[in-house]
Amino acid sequence: MKIRGFTLFEILIALFILAIISVIMIRALQVVIDTRNSVEIASDRVANLQIATTIIANDIQQIVNRPISDTNGLSIPPVTIDNTNQLSFTRGGFINPEALQQRSTLERVDYQLDQGNLIRASWPTLDRAPNNTPQQQILLTHIRLLKWSFLASDRRFYSAWPATGSASQEILPIAIEMDITFENGEQLNQLFLLAVEASLTTNLSLLYPPGVNNVH
């Protein structure tokens, strides 16, 4: 019995079909890999946002009424923001177990935007000394715009603190609002309530009554 083999044309057809199937499988595999990478990037971004907002919330919730002195001996309010949009405040809860370290449980914290990075700086002492350098931590990156607003007891937002106007006698705000615009256009808005001022309102929704104004 004579066994018939494949012709050259049949082999070429088979190779052509195999090549098409291989291209389809490689493309499908690439889509799966790209999707997985996108999910991982998105998950990491969400995790970073959650960590950053938790740190900021913890800091702001523990703000206390304790001014500090700068290197020239001038008094700086417990909460302040300068013309570079750097937020600075004194917070409590700086754990010192069994007072093993010779320092206070209070801490001075700064938040500043530097080259698209949101940086948290904490100082080793409350009152500034000439050689004091802060410990810095980058919380968020790729930021285009950062804005802080301060909610006073008159239920108005102020872009500066200490505020001028009806809230000029207040030492601490009720809450601090953070607005971030990222380089990709995404936005993050968070309102952080101060624990020491929480007794001034029983419901966070009361902070946004009809006709609430932003004062700039």
Q: What pLDDT sits at residue 23?
A: 87
Rounded CA separation 107/96 (Å): 11
Element (H, E) at 28: helix 8-61
Strands 214-215 and 157-158: parallel
Residue 157 pLDDT > 60: yes
Nearest-angstrom CA–CA distance, 137 and 129 = 21
Mean pLDDT lowest among 101-105, 109-113, 189-193: 101-105
Confidence (pLDDT) at 207: 42
For the chain, domains (ranges, CATH) are 59-215 (3.10.610.10)
The share of the chain scoring above pLDDT 90, in percent, equals 41
Interval 11-22 mean pLDDT: 85
Q: Which of 117, 59, 55, 124 is nearest to 88 (CA)?
A: 59
Confidence of residue 73 (pLDDT cuts 50, 70, 90): confident
Helix (H, G, I), strand (E, B) or coil at 87: strand
Rounded Cα distance, 193 and 89, in Å: 14
**HSE-up of 159 (CA within 13 Å, CB side)?**
10
Q: With 0.75 as the threshold, say if the pTM is over it.
A: no
